[in-house]
């Protein structure tokens, strides 16, 4: 259920795998995405189970309506009756409030400055990485008092640069914006390494504490991959700050 978990000075980061939920084929088992064609009741049950495994109240987990852009919104509580905003990053200074990002190949990016008590979650697919969603999230954190030198960044399971084949023109377009994302597949064709692009962006901003879960979703049967399976579920990444230690 929880494939990866990191804890650092009162900041918590977690990434799910696909096992341990109630979803049937083709979403088996722990689909956490609400917009992939599955029964809402199953998604609710899975979200409650994942939150429980993390010691979180599912009502205090904030989700986004992700659109592959670079917009960020600050949040200080659940959306309630308000429309879920169409953004690809959320930032909070509220301890105990968990921010969640959904993926199936895109790079889930979790950020926290435990000293300032500021956290952010970002969805960085190829378009979002190129558009700068991660720098936008770091800038929004800085507005709330975060210092990039203190930010802890964790990236989760995503399609790797050796698997993410793209047309040559697309690789050139991406590399013109972010040279670090230029890649080649293991079979020698043009590719994009989105996570490498994210790491380069974070490094330029002065974020030094960066670690990756080290899982390629397309290669791992324990994770959802849109490129492999098309109709499939979504993994989630969660970040939150302790009430006590911030």
Closer residue to Zn ion, CB minimum distance, 50 or 198: 198
54 vs 163, beta carbon nearer Zn ion: 163
CB under 5 A: which stretch of 14-22, 27-35, 157-165, 176-184 binds Zn ion? 157-165
Residue 213 in the binding site for Zn ion (CB under 5 A): no
Distance of closest approach, residue 164 Cβ to Zn ion, in angstroms: 7
Q: How far is the CB of 159 from Zn ion (least distance, A)?
A: 6
Other Cβ atoms less than 10 A from the Cβ of 126: the count is 23
**Which residue bears the tokens 């490094």?**
203
- Count other Cβ atoms within 10 Å, centred on residue 128: 26
Question: What phi-psi label fits residue 132: left (phi over 0), alpha (psi between -120 and 50 degrees) or beta?
Answer: left
- Our finding on whether 184 is near Zn ion (CB under 5 A) is no
Give the residue ranges of DSSP H helices in 91-193.
126-131, 133-143, 168-177
CB of 120 to Zn ion, least distance (A): 26
State residue 116 phi and psi, 5-degree precision: -75, -20
Q: Which residue's CB is nearer to Zn ion, number 209 or number 219?
A: 219
Cis peptide before 63, with omega less than 30 degrees from 0? no
The residue among 114 and 161 lying less far from Zn ion, judged by its C-beta, is 161
Whole-number Å distance between alpha carbons of 189 and 213: 25
Total residues interacting with Zn ion, rule: CB under 5 A? 4
Residue from 120, 163, 194, 196 touching Zn ion (CB under 5 A): that is 163
Q: Is 216 in the site for Zn ion (CB under 5 A)?
A: yes
- Cα distances (angstroms) measured from residue 104 to each of 65, 93, 236: 15, 27, 9
Smallest gap from Cβ 186 to Zn ion, in A, equals: 8
For 202-233, the three-class secondary structure string (H helix, E strand, C coil) is HHHCCCCEEEECCCECCCCCCCCCHHHHCCCC
Q: 71, 147, 173, 219: which one contacts Zn ion (CB under 5 A)?
A: 219
For the CB of residue 161, give the shortest distance to Zn ion in the complex, in Å: 8
Taking the least distance from each CB to Zn ion, the nearer of 100 and 160 is 160
- Binding region for Zn ion (CB under 5 A): 160, 163, 216, 219
């Amino acid at each position: 259920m929880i494939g990866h978990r990191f804890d650092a000075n009162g900041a918590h980061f977690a990434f799910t795998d696909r096992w341990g939920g109630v979803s049937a084929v083709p979403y088996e088992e722990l689909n956490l995405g609400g917009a992939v064609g599955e029964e809402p009741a199953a998604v609710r049950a899975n979200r409650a189970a994942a939150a429980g495994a993390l010691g979180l109240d599912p009502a205090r987990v904030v989700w986004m309506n992700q659109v592959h852009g670079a917009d960020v919104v600050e949040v200080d509580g659940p959306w309630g009756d308000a429309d879920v905003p169409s953004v690809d990053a959320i930032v909070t200074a509220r301890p105990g409030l968990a921010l969640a990002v959904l993926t199936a190949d895109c790079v889930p990016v979790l950020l926290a400055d435990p000293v300032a008590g500021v956290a952010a979650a970002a969805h960085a697919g190829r378009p979002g990485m190129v558009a700068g969603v991660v720098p936008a999230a770091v800038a929004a954190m800085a507005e709330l008092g975060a210092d990039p030198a203190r930010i802890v960044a964790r990236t989760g399971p995503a399609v790797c640069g050796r698997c993410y084949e793209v047309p040559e023109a697309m690789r050139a377009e991406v590399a013109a914006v972010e040279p670090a994302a230029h890649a080649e597949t293991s079979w020698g064709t043009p590719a994009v390494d989105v996570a490498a692009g994210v790491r380069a962006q974070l490094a330029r901003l002065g974020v030094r504490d960066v670690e990756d879960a080290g899982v390629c979703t397309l290669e791992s049967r324990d994770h959802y991959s849109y490129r492999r399976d098309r109709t499939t579920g979504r993994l989630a990444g969660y970040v939150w700050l302790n009430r006590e230690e911030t």
